[in-house]
Amino acid sequence: MRIARAVRERDGVERCELGMGTPANLEVLEDFGVSAPATPGDLVIAVEAPDDSAASALDYAEHEVGSLDGGAPGAPASRPRVRSLPAAARALEDPNVALISVPGEYATLEAHRALSAGLHVFLFSDHVPLEAEIELKQRGAALGLLVMGPECGTAMLGGIGLGFANVVRPGPVGIVAAAGTGAQESACLLDAAGAGVSHIIGVGGRDLRGELSGLMFAQAMRLLARDERTEKLLLVAKAPTAEGVQAIADHLPADLPVVAAFVGWDGANAPFEVHPTLEAGAAAAAGTAPPDTSPLEREVDARRSGASGRCLLGLYSGGSLAHEAITLLEPKLGPIAGNVGHGPEHADGMHALLDLGEAEYTQSRPHPMVDLETRTAMLEQAAEDERVGCVLLDVVLGFAGHPDPAAALAPAIERVTKRATVITHVCGTPDDPQDSKRQTRILAGAGALVAPSNAAAARLALRSLS
């Protein structure tokens, strides 16, 4: 994704696709006008550009891909080159985690190979059948190993981030999460409160549903209960079922305090302390109050008269953050259009909120936490739409994300603020590669109001439309 984005940013390049030769990717290439005799084991690079720009861009992409394998093409390898997971495990000194990101049809086999090698599994891959997930997690639990995923986007083990992860201070709170950006937001809020995090164990979004019944939640809690650095648990999920919550309750460790942030949960009859927002859950785990937003509220009030439109537009890159916003917005605004709320799929003069990380927006392009092109284009459209009175968006930082998202969004945000209020939240820390303080300054300089949490941003959006 990083290489494809870098190629797209080169002079003269109109489009670039870079991916394995899977049937889905080959279908995208056909829409591109390219027919490639590739197999799922082949890497395909396609560039559309005039004159010599295409050849130059291809050379650049090949060089960058080669550098991922220990150096530029033809350069001597700096480490052993291996072609299988067992060979990689043998080549390393005492590995204990395998990160797997391959097409779903191959992910199950590779995950089983990792378990056979005695490795915990971080399974980033999607399109893994539920039956395969159940089998993997049952086997992992029997072996005393973690199966984080499938579709696990975030974890942090002993301070080492996997996937999309932030740099947070070490501390006593262990996080178990079935929500990727939910885990990131929780960890960053704990960092801001001075609490810190011991580990983040992602379990995949389906772990609290159906036959899984919190299988990996239970395994993660067992392991964290034995970890001397972990003194408290924070459990994170999006609207789990009552059966899923009870499954967690059946496996709660006896000697660790437990707090949960179950987004959208009403808290009724929960057998342990449950909060309906990520903000409230993190505050409870840290033993602090949420940050004061009264200065921002006054600023929202001052700007309200300058916004002629009365519609909300939410443009989110984090699915958990989008879901949290919806649970706060819809009780006041009614059904909201888009792919998260309970309104129609498409908005026509009504409130709308979009999770741009869903498949309909990521087909043939990187995730919006990496590539901001889609969101920037939508902001440009909002700047010309007199019906839009408030724009709400997240800016997610950390490893694997865009290197400078605020700077990329700022020009479009500045244009939107001429007719609407823009409210943002930076999910990150000052120690992230992008530096949350710097990102906040850039966004504020473009005219956006920057809230201390995603939940606070949603409440400020409600205030701007009241």
**Domain termination site, one of 236, 260, 286:** 286
Distance CA 207, CA 177 (A): 9
Shared domain for 277 and 300, answered yes or no, is no
Sheet holding 311-316, edge to edge: 337-338, 352-355, 311-316, 388-396, 421-427, 449-451
Query: Which residues does 376 contact at the CB level (< 8 Å), separation at least 6?
Result: 408, 409, 412
Shared domain for 108 and 243, answered yes or no, is yes
What pLDDT shows up at residue 83? 82
Q: Report the candidate in 86, 139, 144 with the shortest Cα–Cα distance to residue 113.
A: 86
pTM listed for this prediction: 0.89
What pLDDT shows up at residue 72? 43
Contact 181, 263 (CB under 8 A): no
**Domain termination site, one of 253, 286, 319:** 286
What pLDDT shows up at residue 17? 83
Distance CA 370, CA 356 (A): 11
Q: What is the pLDDT along the chain (466 residues), one digit of tens a residue?
A: 778 878 888 888 888 888 888 777 888 778 777 787 888 778 888 888 887 788 888 889 898 888 775 544 444 456 677 888 888 888 888 899 999 998 888 999 999 999 999 999 999 998 899 999 999 999 999 999 999 999 999 999 999 999 999 999 999 999 999 999 999 999 999 999 999 999 999 999 999 888 888 999 999 999 999 999 999 999 999 988 888 888 889 999 988 999 999 998 876 677 789 999 999 999 999 999 999 999 999 999 999 887 888 999 999 999 999 999 999 999 999 999 999 999 988 877 899 999 999 878 877 677 889 889 999 999 999 999 999 999 999 999 999 899 999 999 999 999 999 999 999 999 999 999 999 999 999 999 999 999 999 999 999 999 999 8
List, in sequence order, every residue forming a beta bridge with 451; answer none if it has no partner.
425
What pLDDT shows up at residue 305? 82
Shared domain for 215 and 264, answered yes or no, is yes
**Which spans in 179-318 are helix H?**
180-192, 215-225, 242-249, 278-286, 294-304
Contact 177, 186 (CB under 8 A): yes
Q: Establish if 75 belongs to a structural domain.
A: no
Q: Establish if 79 belongs to a structural domain.
A: no
Shared domain for 54 and 171, answered yes or no, is no
Contact 272, 258 (CB under 8 A): yes
Distance CA 352, CA 336 (A): 5
Shared domain for 386 and 412, answered yes or no, is yes
Q: Establish if 72 belongs to a structural domain.
A: no
